[in-house]
Structure 1
């Protein structure tokens, strides 16, 4: 997939940031070091700093554009290009930390459920994450349906339904001797403004693989498939998410997990 657009992702910043704040609020320990897996453009670093101002922080992301934006916005911070799987395997640039936290990233990692114990092992105190749980919502069902039509299907192929677990799945994956695990879900109802707000929302996140494929085809062949897809997908979204006098409501389910060590903690903090 082509690189992410930090500018597009930062639209609806308040709505996208809220789950991270609620995740941070459920971390009971006081970390001296924090690793943020999938830090994006660094817009949530301030939430960590406000909660734990003395903690040493490293943000990791696999997107060069996101890391560049984070470094430019926060030149005193530390942001490194890294893959979640490398961090789980101990090959990442950050090393272990007291708190390993992640917001809306793990759903992009194939087989992330099986990876969770290894990720938790890199946390000396707490491993905490949230993932979108809305992949059967109308927005994502319609993405798959419209992309399955010609002429789009020949370009993008089958659109994967991302395998995100329910709270019970994450509890099962993380429950082990020496750990206390808290999992839950929340459905937010965001009220979005402007024209085609749900299209703009999903175009910055879940629809990225489809849109990148269409953009690449247009560049290579001089077609206008991206514009046609936006029109068809936008029309379907407007029907599924009608505008109200107060804005366009978007129900967005999130799944959360906080795993806290209860034995064998090492409180000495260091980030490599």
Structure 2
């Protein structure tokens, strides 16, 4: 009886009498075990990186982390310092003009004056069903992005005051942004898991473009892949909720 004749009892080594089929069988078997080991390692790595307690933000305490596996094995993982920068993402400002004008005129003026396009909307108390693109108004809202200091706002306010006699400036919305540099995609999952939400929290989702909202998947690898595709984690509705 050849060693390869009984598949279940085939040895896990190759001899001078081993057939090519037996060699291929062993190679396929080892490849399968290797693929499984890589899959387990990737899964464990994602779980470890999705835990906020496995991150270090103090440069003095930055040391290699030990990545442990279910079979008792462990490997050393070199950490990278994550830098955090907090800033204002955008500010919505409402204002009035002395004379009624069109939104497109103000947008064109600011683009030429500031050198940057701004999102501007108008408010109409009457005829809400009419196309507002060609209607004049005295109340407008402007969204100012990338606000690094007060000069960014003062420059726009001064231009609107001088050209349109704008007044009654009011901040209606502020969106804060915390940017994390040198962080893996799983860090977003770790941040989400570390937040303590109120009991009435709702609409927990991942989203990208309009109509692409979906529930957050339970599988860590699937959530990571969606984040890499540009999806974001969302909670509640910023237009009507405090948080």
The reply to whether TM is greater than 0.5 is no
- Per residue, is there more strand in 1 or in 2? 2
Q: Which has the higher contact order (CA 8 A, sep 6+)?
A: 1
> Which structure shows the bigger proportion of residues in helix conformation?
1
Larger radius of gyration between Structure 1 and Structure 2: 2
TM-score (norm 1): 0.26
Normalised to the residue count of structure 2, the TM-score between the two structures is 0.28
